[in-house]
A = this chain, B = another copy of it.
Amino acid sequence: MSKLTDVPKRILIGRALRSDRLAETLLPKRVALPVFASDPLSSVAYAPGEVLLVLSIAGLSAYHFSPWIAAAVVVLMFTVVASYRQNVRAYPSGGGDYEVANTNLGPRAGLTVASALLVDYVLTVAVSISSGIENLGSAVPFIVEHKTLSAIAVILLLTLMNLRGVKESGTLFAIPTYVFVAGVFTMIAWGAFRGIVLGDEMHAPTADLEIKPEHQGLAGFALLFLLLRAFSSGCAALTGVEAISNGVPAFRKPKSRNAANTLALMGLLAVTMFCGIIGLAMATDVRMAENPAADLVRDGVPVGADYVQHPVISQVAEAVFGDGSVLFVLLAAATALVLFLAANTAYNGFPLLGSILAQDRYLPRQLHTRGDRLAFSNGIVLLAGAAILLVWVYGADSTRLIQLYIVGVFVSFTLSQTGMVRHWNRHLRTERDRAKRHRMMRSRAINAFGAFFTGVVLVVVLVTKFTHGAWVALLGMCIFFAVMSVIRRHYDRVAEEIAAPEGPSDDVVRPSRVHSVVLISKIHRPTLRALAYAKLMRSDTLEALSVNVDPEETRALREEWERRGIDVPLKVLDSPYREITRPVIEYVKSLRKESPRDAVSVIIPEYVVGHWYEHLLHNQSALRLKGRLLFTPGVMVTSVPYQLQSSEVAKRRARKQQEWNAPGAVRRGPAQDRPNDSSRST
């Protein structure tokens, strides 16, 4: 019945494009690493500092707990990486946490993960930009003096770039990421060499400060709570690890294996950098405080409100490379750039997740087109708006923003890993091959441990950070959850209302005849064309309809109608108030009343123009009439367009938009239909 095998047409409509692009967009590992890792690697720019910052509450002496906290973060990182290596193997389609939770734990869990991820994307932008500004500010003081403004300016710049559709390439990500990684490793190595081999005394710029503890001599439960809070803050290093699991289709073959290895490499780099920076911070006596103005003391006097607390990574770089040295500036720039790139990944992830959610009817259906410009723009603007709001409210203070950040990440980690356990359980029920069963059980164990560990961390984060800002993130998640639930319910209700009844008989009375009415204002090309088309349609009756808003014009119309001998009867409706809509609607209703089983087809000539201001000058009556006619049952409304010369402009614009490529394609890999979740297919 269908003509799917109609090859020439299939080529015409885009299949060709698809295979064209397949090869060029696949990423080798050396490019995939920076493309996906800018987000997780960049978090080592702020995570170590957060640990020291929280510890400082109990005074300088608490700093000696930092290696233990680093160790815990490393264990967690390995757990998460090991877990996601299982995800990547089980879901090579790049389903991501939403799909894993949705498929294995049901729609409520899926929606929870989706809400968490949406909040997370917003926070990725807010935190990364703020931290980037702080890093840049350690080299360029002007920027840190106008922190909020600078951060908002960068967000606006990124937004504009993304709205315009800058085409991304792997190189764009590769250079700053590799420079950043190389810079940090050089710093660690050179620092270790200077400290251990040369025996240099390296001093961070804050080394001579003292910390006034907010709570002196914490012990027992209070100390434990503080350590847990410091650990929670350190967990910021884990944000972005899940990115690779969304991007498996972008890898070269064997996709899953390459992705898993990239994940492992990324984890290794991240923990090394994280520990290296903490170690150097200890060696160079970096001093950080939660409230630097009051708690950092120089020669017995608090440093005061003017004091700018630079990030750990830049303090360490200053100690190791020397203030103002080329390497110091280079590292600061690379750090900022990587952080901005990390923010940019959210600009791609947010609309992509939106399109997946739209496919599942949690968001307006028109968003489901992947990489559609309009859907993309809406997502971008929403993301940027929310991020700007956060940056503004929190004064671009990355420390305060991070309090909000980690909740969402661990909600999706925990649910995703729990989902994976279910996934393996389900497969184990049917799998008979022993070797495979063994592998699955191993994977299940890893995921179970991952779920347990990340779950514990989630509880720790919630308990230690709730009042510090985590509630804001939870509130955001609840809002997303509620809105998406309402949308889904609406779609479900409509689907029920419009479900076609079974069987050939139908409660809807099928119309038997159709009465066509062509609206005429004057005789000109558009109306003549509409008349010609109306005649082609061979409806049961056909008449031309005009509304008398000006007796003079109506008279002229009648005369010309007769003079031209147009063989369609012309009916004129009176309109004492010079209205058009009301008389036409009333007339159509009277036709329907006369013969309720007939359908009425209203044919409206329309001008097609090129500029928005021309739209204001044309078709407004037609538009409003169409709007009203749609509410009249038994009516269909036909537009017969007449393209004015100026419409060429709009046509060219539309063609240009059609050729637009959504940014972020490099992370998504070639277009591929998302496999249906098993909940649907079973």
Interface residues of A (CB under 8 A from B): 1-4, 9-10, 12-15, 17-18, 355, 359, 364-366, 368-372, 374, 487, 490-491, 494-495, 497-501, 506, 508, 510-511, 513-514, 523-529, 532-533, 536-539, 548-552, 558, 561-562, 569-580, 582-583, 586-587, 590, 599, 601, 603, 606-608, 614, 616-618, 620-621, 624, 626, 628-631, 633, 635-645, 647, 650-651, 654, 658, 671, 673, 676, 680-681
Contacts and interface: CB of A to CB of B under 8 A. Distances in A.
13 contacts: A2-B570, A4-B572, A9-B587, A10-B574, A12-B587, A14-B579, A366-B624, A368-B578, A369-B580, A510-B532, A513-B536, A629-B641, A631-B651
A525 B539 contact: no
A639 B636 contact: yes
A487 to B, nearest CB: 6
A525 B507 CA distance: 10
A594 to B, nearest CB: 10
Contacts of A12: 586-587, 590
Q: Which 7 A-B pairs have the closest CB atoms?
A: A366-B620, A630-B641, A18-B576, A638-B638, A498-B524, A514-B536, A13-B583
A599 to B, nearest CB: 6
Contacts of A671: 576-578
Number of copies of this chain that the complex holds: 2
Nearest to A642: B498
Given A372-B579, A558-B2, A590-B9, A620 B365 contact: yes
A359 B620 contact: no
A537 B541 CA distance: 11
A98 B36 CA distance: 68
Contacts of A511: 532-533, 536
Given A525-B499, A574-B13, A494 B644 contact: yes
Contacts of A624: 366, 374
Given A526-B498, A536-B513, A658-B582, A1 B577 contact: no
A564 to B, nearest CB: 8
Contact of A552 (B355, B601, B680): B680
A498 B525 contact: yes
Contact of A636 (B494, B514, B533): B533
A627 to B, nearest CB: 8
Contacts of A494: 607, 618, 644
Nearest to A631: B651
Nearest to A562: B1
Contacts of A580: 369
A601 B639 CA distance: 10
Nearest to A617: B364
Most buried by B among A2, A510, A603: A2
B579 A369 contact: yes
Most central of A497, A572, A680 by chain B CB within 10 Å:
A497
